[in-house]
Amino acid sequence: MIDRDVDGTFIQSYEAWGNGGQFIMVFPSLELVAVFTGENYGKFPEMGRPFELIDRYILPAVK
């Protein structure tokens, strides 16, 4: 379980991370599931872009 800080509010998530940018993120309190697929094998920071999208755009929009 991971607590994500969104504008001072912590939102719990369950996450599965795969190789190359495969991510499943479940946010029970928001009734939200986010799935990302990618081909960023061994590429940084590209592999972290889904986290930026979740933290900066998606969670603030639905919180």
Q: For residue range 11-38, what is the model confidence (pLDDT) as tens digits? A: 999 999 988 888 999 999 999 999 999 8
41-61: per-residue pLDDT in tens? 777 777 778 899 999 999 999
Task: State the pLDDT at residue 63.
Answer: 79
Structure tokens at 32: 């939200």
Chain centroid to CA 13: 8
Q: Is the pLDDT of residue 1 over 80?
A: yes
Say what the pLDDT of residue 21 is. 82
- The structure's pTM equals 0.84
Q: What's the CA gap between 16 and 55, in Å, rounded?
A: 16
